[in-house]
Structure 1
Amino acid sequence: MLYPQLTASRMLISLDGFWQFAADHHNDGEEQGWHTGLQSDREIAVPASWNEQYQDLMYFFETGWYEREVEIPQHAQSEKIWLRVGAANYLSTLWVNGIEVGQHEGGHLPFVFEITEFIKFDRPNRITIRVDARIMPDRLPPGAVPEDEMIIGFKGQYPSNYYDFFPYGGINRPVLLFTTPDSYIQNIHTSTKLSGSDGEVNVRITMKNKISGTCRVSIRGTDSSLNRKLTANEADVEIEGCLRVSQARLWCPEDPFLYELEVQLMDDQGAMVDQYVQKFGIRTVVIEGTKLLLNGKPLFLTGFGMHEDFPVLGKGVHPAVLTKDFNLLDWIGANSIRTSHYPYSDEFLHYADRKGLLVIGETPFVGFVRSHYQGNAIRDKAQRVITEMVERDINHPCIIAWSLANEGDTFVPEADAFYKSLYDHAKSLDDSRPITIINCLDVEEDVALKHYDFVSINRYYGWYEQAGRLDEGCRVLDAKLDRCYELLGKPVMITEFGADAVAGVHVDPPELFSEEYQAEMTCRQYEIIRSKPYTIGAHVWSFADFKTSQTPSRVVVNRKGIFTRDRQPKLAAHKLKELWKQ
């Protein structure tokens, strides 16, 4: 469903702020009737992870309960009323006034429920959200994985998630209450292509309709429009058409221009019933030979993998952090990021659209293990999450590719059909962007990469292998890149490379964990990657230090950040700036 918007026909109320909170240590709060009234004397901030707000919650990975009251304006009685949670990790259940409304699985995408029938207009309404953050093998991403199924590290770490970032629990993105008319615009899908200097904008609009009237579609600032007559009581109306923009202004990092598609639902008397404005950019992205082309021009991606991670907030979205991060990306000369290892917030992507940051959107499929290939349960869950991600993000011009998995077990025969099914499913939803998955081991035995549009690999030669032997690590990287292209014959992107550095540690000659070693390794390996005619990008791991589970290989946080966790530059940041802003 469309991102909530305040318009002439829609009301929007933020429920961010302080909520009552209770930790359900035995996961039996529903049996105790917590959904009918939470007995709690503790307040907690939303959006933000619960772990860093209270010391006793840092390693709490059970179920948390949130509650607050809200009064709905009387004039909303004729409207549909909806509640949207941007993301809550991991399994969420919503009650309104003690009545269960619905449940959503998944920690990194929004869920929306209509709550009209549960609302009272003569009293405050109690909103209750239960968030189950338990770590389990069948969740995406998984945890508590048996050691005999692991293909890489994470043995014995605490907590026992099978991925290298902290499994923050809680409501991490905004909670919004909004209204729509009874007849309303439900979804808008745009895709663009070029015809000479003109842009062709294909639109598909879905409405829920109970009136006779007209749907008007136009691009503001142009003479492009289309109308469709509507008959009363059409339960699901879908309008498709193509709008042409002459002398189109193309979206790109240098000029991230956004057009506005206005959709209006009018009744027979010409009065507006519903209105929505969808921003979009006119641009094309294709793989052609060994090149990635944006608007027909070759593009090399410089930037980072990064995390939604900040002190105290955990994975909570905050506009000041977004502003700081985008400022630093611009300062260093990065043109792109990958949303490693899950879809990022709507707010991040809206900002990227406006700022011209190129984004590879990634699913939460990190740490796939062999048992996931047995039966259809995980495949079906994976396809559902792909659908949710693509439907939410398809209109964002900043997203130039999809990544469907990171560092899964792609070396067993069962992975072949599994990853082919994910590719086919994603392509059926969006054939306008290239699709990849990310490999972390030698490609010789990989059975999945061949199905994808370009090859993405994570490589740490000189760190996890050839540790401290940077010359040898660089030679291995050079040879392995050539071997990868020789075997697969597709464009190659290095989605992760880098080294840990403890800020303030300086050693000459450079040694592991020093700022000098990180800076030299990152810059030398970037230049090797950039020199290859078949590479399309190099993303350093990572943008900033981030919190992980406790393990002997991590000193409180993962220190591969070019910036510290509180966003101060290390030596490597200054060196990369010199390379990327030449």
Structure 2
Amino acid sequence: GTGDCKVEVFDKEGNLVAQSQGTQGVLEIQNVHLWQPLKAYLYDVKVTFGEDVYTLPYGVRTVRVEGTKFLINERPFYFKGYGRHEDTFPNGRGMNLPMNTKDMSLMKWQGANSFRTSHYPYSEEMMRLCDEEGFVVIDETTAVGVNLDFGGGANFNGQKIGTFDKEHGVQTQEHHKDVIRDLISRDKNHACVVMWSIANEPDSYSEGAYEYFAPLYELARELDPQKRPCTLISVQMAPPEKDCSAKLSDVICLNRYYGWYFGGPDLELPEQALRKELDYWKTLGKPVIFTEYGADTVMGMHDTTPVMYTEEFQVEYYKMNNRVFDDYDFVVGEQVWNFADFATSQSLLRVQGNKKGIFTRDRKPKLAAHYFRDRWHKIPDFEYKK
């Protein structure tokens, strides 16, 4: 269309509460209703340009980091929830709108309030649902395992990937910038998005990592008009003292498997190792979120003692980890890996897929689902740790 541009804001009752002419400007809403976690309030922003009209649901809220606190609307928020995958049975990666609603219902039944879009941007339909339901989202790019063979894990074959080489890494970094531009351009107006994840489990500790990632953080902060916090998700093999995310991230996000890949099945030594690592992160004075921790569990496998792969072991594993989290005031969130079992390529480590889900792939609850329902309903969304 052609003509003048007009922007109008309407509340839930359809009342006009703000308006402006032109393509740039500031809209002020008197007595604003804030978008709150699990208590969403959305305005309708109506943009008219000539004969064209577009309406955008929009929530008003603030997000910032202060010391070791993650503040939403100036109140310290505690993340309870999951790393997830867009994977369902029988649709696989295909769109399943009823299952989106089902998953949201199950998470809220447990008392969860957040998830990470591991490891890629989720569908616009899911993002809109999170806006409507007041669910908090850590929004992640498609970058997985950077300089670790892009496989979400270690480069065990010993071959040099070369992502951080000046000769070969420029093209990868430029594409990474494009991915960040696409993510923020699409999702910047979602109230549910409170933080950008630059990458999942990259090599954040080798020579050249800081030089690779620093411009990406700078770009994300430049592009986001709300200046939301930025992070990357640290892989367990990254030595904390060498991890560039310690300097670059507003929030330290850790994927840690003490008691499963590292130290299991005995949980005493893994607990000591986890506490030792957290003692180091405490010195940085930044908030920490555990964005992955979990244990593969086969539904229906039980034992009188908690042996690995049983539902009993999964519960004991989480009890140990959560006991540690509760002892550190700067730990501001726990996001379990994973919400539900999901399909993977076949390997010796996978029993018909990844079985770390708290629910099965068809959304039946394991024993740990009830454990977290009890735990999370006792933990308030705000002011959990004074």
Q: Is it true that 1:524 corresponds to 2:320 in the alignment?
A: yes
Aligned to 1:438: 233
- Distance, in Å, in 2 between the alignment partners of 1:531 and 1:292 is 17
Larger fraction in strand: 1
Alignment of 1:442-461 (within 5 A): 442-461=239-258
Provide the secondary structure at the position in 2 that maps to 1:577.
Answer: helix
Aligned to 1:216: 6
Aligned partner of 1:435: which letter?
C
Aligned partner of 1:471: which letter?
E
**RMSD between aligned residues:** 1.2
Aligned partner of 1:394: which letter?
K
Aligned counterpart for 2:179 among listed residues 368, 385, 402: 385
| CA contact 2:17–2:30 (8 Å) conserved in 1 | no
| C-alpha displacement of 1:312 | 2.7
| CA contact 2:79–2:332 (8 Å) conserved in 1 | yes
| CA contact 1:530–1:537 (8 Å) conserved in 2 | no
| C-alpha displacement of 1:253 | 1.8
Greater alpha carbon shift after TM alignment, 430-439 vs 398-407: 430-439
- Distance, in Å, in 2 between the alignment partners of 1:508 and 1:541 is 25
Aligned counterpart for 2:194 among listed residues 400, 405, 415: 400
| CA contact 1:520–1:572 (8 Å) conserved in 2 | no
| C-alpha displacement of 1:471 | 2.1
Q: Is it true that 1:506 corresponds to 2:297 in the alignment?
A: no
Aligned to 1:371: 162
| CA contact 2:38–2:135 (8 Å) conserved in 1 | no
| C-alpha displacement of 1:216 | 1.4
Q: Is it true that 1:306 corresponds to 2:84 in the alignment?
A: yes
- Distance, in Å, in 2 between the alignment partners of 1:540 and 1:255 is 23
Aligned partner of 1:313: which letter?
N
Aligned counterpart for 2:285 among listed residues 479, 482, 489: 489
Aligned partner of 1:581: which letter?
H
- Distance, in Å, in 2 between the alignment partners of 1:444 and 1:523 is 27
Q: Is it true that 1:546 corresponds to 2:342 in the alignment?
A: yes
- Distance, in Å, in 2 between the alignment partners of 1:526 and 1:344 is 28
Alignment of 1:144-223 (within 5 A): 183=1, 211=2, 213-220=3-10, 221-223=15-17
Alignment of 1:70-469 (within 5 A): 183=1, 211=2, 213-220=3-10, 221-228=15-22, 239-266=23-50, 273-369=51-147, 370-374=161-165, 375-430=169-224, 431-440=226-235, 441=237, 442-469=239-266
Q: How many residues align?
A: 355
Larger fraction in helix: 2
| C-alpha displacement of 1:467 | 1.2
Higher relative contact order (CA 8 A, sep 6+): 2
Runs of 4+ residues over 2 Å off in structure 1 = none
- Distance, in Å, in 2 between the alignment partners of 1:451 and 1:484 is 14
| CA contact 2:267–2:320 (8 Å) conserved in 1 | no
Provide the secondary structure at the position in 2 that maps to 1:479.
Answer: helix
Aligned counterpart for 1:559 among listed residues 343, 349, 355: 355
Aligned partner of 2:227: which letter?
S
TM-score, length-scaled by structure 1: 0.60
| C-alpha displacement of 1:478 | 1.9
| C-alpha displacement of 1:512 | 0.5
**Over residues 107-146 of structure 1, what are the superposed CA-to-partner deviations in whole Å (9 max), with x where a residue is unaligned?**
xxxxxxxxxxxxxxxxxxxxxxxxxxxxxxxxxxxxxxxx
- Distance, in Å, in 2 between the alignment partners of 1:395 and 1:490 is 26
**Over residues 156-197 of structure 1, what are the superposed CA-to-partner deviations in whole Å (9 max), with x where a residue is unaligned?**
xxxxxxxxxxxxxxxxxxxxxxxxxxx2xxxxxxxxxxxxxx
- Distance, in Å, in 1 between the alignment partners of 2:17 and 2:309 is 59
- Give unpaired runs (5+ residues) of structure 2: 148-160, 379-386
| CA contact 1:305–1:496 (8 Å) conserved in 2 | yes
| C-alpha displacement of 1:351 | 0.3
Aligned partner of 2:306: which letter?
P
**Over residues 373-423 of structure 1, what are the superposed CA-to-partner deviations in whole Å (9 max), with x where a residue is unaligned?**
233100000000100010000010000000011111112111111110110
- Distance, in Å, in 2 between the alignment partners of 1:357 and 1:474 is 31
| CA contact 1:530–1:538 (8 Å) conserved in 2 | no
- Distance, in Å, in 2 between the alignment partners of 1:546 and 1:449 is 31
- Distance, in Å, in 2 between the alignment partners of 1:322 and 1:363 is 20
Provide the secondary structure at the position in 1 that maps to 2:24.
Answer: strand
- Give unpaired runs (5+ residues) of structure 1: 1-182, 184-210, 229-238, 267-272
Alignment of 1:461-480 (within 5 A): 461-480=258-277
Which structure: larger Rg? 1
Using the aligned pairs only, state the percent identity. 40
- Distance, in Å, in 1 between the alignment partners of 2:364 and 2:7 is 46
- Distance, in Å, in 1 between the alignment partners of 2:35 and 2:256 is 32
**Over residues 215-254 of structure 1, what are the superposed CA-to-partner deviations in whole Å (9 max), with x where a residue is unaligned?**
21110123311123xxxxxxxxxx1111111111100124
